[in-house]
Chains A and B, each alone.
Chain A
Amino acid sequence: MRDLDRSRRFDAAVMPHLERGYALARWLVRDPSEAEDVVQDACIRALKYIDGWTGDTNRSWFLAIVRNAAYDTLAKRGVRAEVPLDDTDLGCVEGTPETSLLAASDRTLLNRLVEELPPLFREVIVLREVEELSYRDIATVLDVPVGTVMSRLARARGRLLVAWQAATKTERA
């Protein structure tokens, strides 16, 4: 009985969000088989927490678990989840938009630039632009206030813009 109940709850709470969890894990650990391990770990954790959880077992709930599992994997690699302290990237992006920059919407380049962001910046970009979550839902996943989501996303975008500009300039040179 108990097992049947467990599998039913798992199917309802976890299975619908498995693919989104995998995508987030892929973006965070950047390795297909490690991402699979992260999701497996998250599934086991989710099953463990399901009984004691009083809130909604929605997508943000599962993504938060995946995220924690992913950071455990990153920690083993020695990657620390820290917001970079330098604020230089937050200054106004210089100059007017150049048409050449805007036209150079190079998929590969942008994917690489996002992958090169520190994890805490990378994840807000992914949660917003890939998962299309609201700020409130991102705040739930990251367990931070909405204001933090707002500023982190702006800083991540500022960095991306600067890097994008730099990469496009090098390409043209």
Chain B
Amino acid sequence: MRCEDALIQISAAVDRELDPARAVKLHDHLETCPTCRAADEQMRVLSSTLRTSLTQYELPAGMAARMRATALATPTLVTSTTPRWVPRASKFAALAASWLLAAYVGMWVALPHMSSDDQLVAAHSRSLQANHLIDVASSDRHTVKPWFADKLSFSPPVVEVDGYQLIGGRLDVLDGKPAAAIVYKRRLHTINLFAAAATPGTTKLSTSVRNGLSLVHWRADGMQMTLVSDINQNELVDLAHALGAR
């Protein structure tokens, strides 16, 4: 065992996070290596001293109430096309009626997406399986964007975003119509940005989850946009914002 590897395992052993097999090997190494034995001793002292020394910050007085009030007063961006009369109507509606209304509005909000979540998820999964993730491989938007120009009647946004690696684009089909898929990578995760022609208009972003995948939808510039990935929804929302969604 190299001393450098030993140090990682010593640290894990201090936390009791080392699996038994490696713990035995480490134990054998410590028997024969005085330097690592010393490191082991120092790691233990460091860890226990940190536990008693590091400041335990407490919540300032009144902060919890402030946080709660401000957060709940901030509108969320969940619904896209909830009609304006709904909040007023539900105020006057009886309890049971408002529940029905909420269910109805929920369905209604889900409908206007150009393609169902299932289709989008299927398209995303297909892109991962069939070795057909990208038709044009490039991290340069000036290569990807013109490639789409010959093939689609609309012009999908191809944007380079910090922290998300643009790897290329491909043609896909949603609802029997051609769609652009722009592919990003973040760490080991693949993100598909689907863009399909839609009626003009802009909608705020909305989110949904299907089969453990996160989806973020919005409409802009006559296109229905959807991001699909297995990364955290918050990262997907961040990407949507970077792509101009509101």
Residues of A in contact with B (beta carbons under 8 Å apart): 1-3, 6-7, 10-11, 14-15, 18-19, 22-23, 26-27, 32, 35-36, 39-40, 43-49, 51-54, 64-65, 68, 90-97, 101-102, 105-107, 110-111, 114, 125-126, 128-130, 132, 134-135, 143, 150-151, 153-154, 157-158, 160-161, 164
Please, which residues of chain B bring their CB within 8 A of the CB of A10? 68, 71-72
- Complex CA gap A91/B36 in Å reads 10
- Complex CA gap A106/B11 in Å reads 21
Consensus secondary structure, chain A interface: helix
Report the minimum CB–CB distance from B85 to chain A (whole Å). 15
- Complex CA gap A14/B42 in Å reads 37
Interface stretch, picked from B140-148, B195-203, B218-226, B229-237, is B229-237
Please, which residues of chain B bring their CB within 8 A of the CB of A43? 67-68, 70-71
Which residues of chain B from 57 to 109 have a CB within 8 Å of any chain A CB? 57-60, 63-64, 66-68, 70-72, 74, 76-78, 90, 95, 98-99, 102
Identify A111's interface contact among B41, B51, B54, B68, CB under 8 A.
Answer: B54
Please, which residues of chain A bring their CB within 8 A of the CB of B232? 64, 143
A50 nearest in chain B by CB position: B76
A41 nearest in chain B by CB position: B71
Q: With A44-B71, A143-B232 given, is the CB distance from A90 to B57 under 8 Å?
A: no
A2, B72: Cβ atoms under 8 Å?
Answer: no
- Complex CA gap A32/B58 in Å reads 11
Please, which residues of chain B bring their CB within 8 A of the CB of A106? 53
B60, A36: Cβ atoms under 8 Å?
Answer: yes
Consensus secondary structure, chain B interface: helix
Please, which residues of chain A bring their CB within 8 A of the CB of B187? 143
B54, A92: Cβ atoms under 8 Å?
Answer: no
Q: A43-B67, A154-B11 are in contact. List 10 more A-B contacts (CB 8 A).
A: A27-B57, A36-B60, A47-B76, A92-B4, A93-B42, A128-B15, A129-B47, A132-B51, A154-B12, A161-B46
- On chain B, the number of residues with a Cβ less than 8 Å from chain A's Cβ atoms is 62
Interface stretch, picked from B124-132, B149-157, B166-174, B204-212, is B204-212
A40, B71: Cβ atoms under 8 Å?
Answer: yes
- Complex CA gap A151/B11 in Å reads 8
Q: Does B3 contact A (CB under 8 A)?
A: yes
Can you list 26 A-B pairs with a CB-CB distance of less than 8 A? A2-B90, A6-B72, A6-B76, A18-B64, A26-B55, A27-B57, A39-B63, A43-B71, A44-B70, A44-B71, A45-B234, A46-B71, A47-B72, A48-B77, A48-B237, A68-B234, A91-B4, A92-B4, A92-B7, A110-B54, A111-B54, A128-B15, A130-B56, A135-B15, A150-B17, A151-B8
Identify A90's interface contact among B4, B36, B56, CB under 8 A.
Answer: B4
Please, which residues of chain A bring their CB within 8 A of the CB of B237? 48-49
B188 nearest in chain A by CB position: A145
